Amino acid sequence: MENKKEESKSTFFKIKTISQLHDVLEYEKPCHPLITVLDLSKVAFTDEVVHKKVTVPFYNITLKTKTSNAFKYGRDYFDFTEGALFGVGPDQVIEIDYISEKGEMEGWSLYFHPDIIRGSGLMEKLTDYGFFGYDTNEALHISDKEKQTLNGIVLKIQEEYSANLDEFSQDVLVSNIELLFNYIKRFYNRQFLTRKSQNTTVLSQFNGLLKSYFESEDIRLNGLPKVHYFAEKLHLSDSYLSDLLKKETGKNTQDHIHFYMIEKAKNLLINTNNSVSEIAFNLGFEYPQYFSRLFKSKTGQTPVAYRKQLN
């Protein structure tokens, strides 16, 4: 048993610094301690990281335009033969299942430590960039023109941290990182539009799952469904499902769950003589006050006031 535990621990490999990242990938020495752009044609995956669960404490945006293999990120293997862009947040796990030589890949990979943007407005905006939580099957497929745009911004980032640092360096770096994020967000918006028919199918399936959940015993036994419940059923990440629904309907997954619950609560308040506590229990709330608080936050009225107004 002890050997199995040790073997399990050994499958994890934590890279803690930009310098260590360069060393592990057999890359030239970094120019900055908190940010780097790697030319993937100069990167090699060695024994040190292959067949390991690799984590780094950095944000990462990678554009791979060529590779002869796939690698695992999250639950899926992803083939980058056609070229795609994806993001990984700090301490997310990547698994590399093959040894590669330099020259087998093409593209670039931007890594930066959260300290680079800490204290800036960008840190507060990170929740707007859902692509750090997308799965590999939700990667962004970009056109040649879009690729040129992103390549230009990444080149500016690289030039800035490679130059002599001054009092403006961090502001310029943060501005360009934010510009990169905004373009990626724009290109994802385009991807949602070009997959309109596929998105409509997902929306229809989501609505069916939502209706089914609220009409089953699940709602009473398990409470309000979590975003992850629907994402897993639809084989999507939580972030991607919410962004897709937001694009299609103006409401994210959590908004839809709350909207459906409020509509069901209104029907029960109007069409039954059940007490507010009974309605709350039937909608999966352990404590009626939580139900009343959420109902008021969404409607501007307490359940009792709503019922009195209509009766």
Closest CA to 179 of 129, 144, 227, 139: 129
Strand partners, 44: none
Q: Which fold has domain 197-310?
A: Arc Repressor Mutant, subunit A (1.10.10)
Q: Which fold has domain 2-194?
A: Jelly Rolls (2.60.120)
Sign of CA dihedral 222, 227, 231, 237: negative
Whole-angstrom CA distances from 306 to 93, 126, 298 are 48, 38, 12
**Could you read off the pLDDT tens digit of each residue along the chain, which spans 311 residues?**
444 444 444 588 899 999 999 998 889 999 999 999 999 999 888 778 777 888 899 999 999 886 555 554 444 444 444 568 989 999 888 877 666 677 778 899 999 999 999 989 998 888 889 998 888 778 898 888 999 999 999 999 999 999 888 889 899 999 999 999 999 999 998 888 887 778 888 999 999 999 999 999 888 888 899 999 999 999 999 999 999 999 999 999 999 999 999 999 999 999 999 999 999 999 989 899 999 999 999 999 999 999 988 76
pTM score, two decimals? 0.76
For the chain, the structural domain boundaries read: 2-194, 197-310
Residues 122, 155: Cα–Cα separation, whole Å: 20
Closest CA to 234 of 266, 198, 263: 198
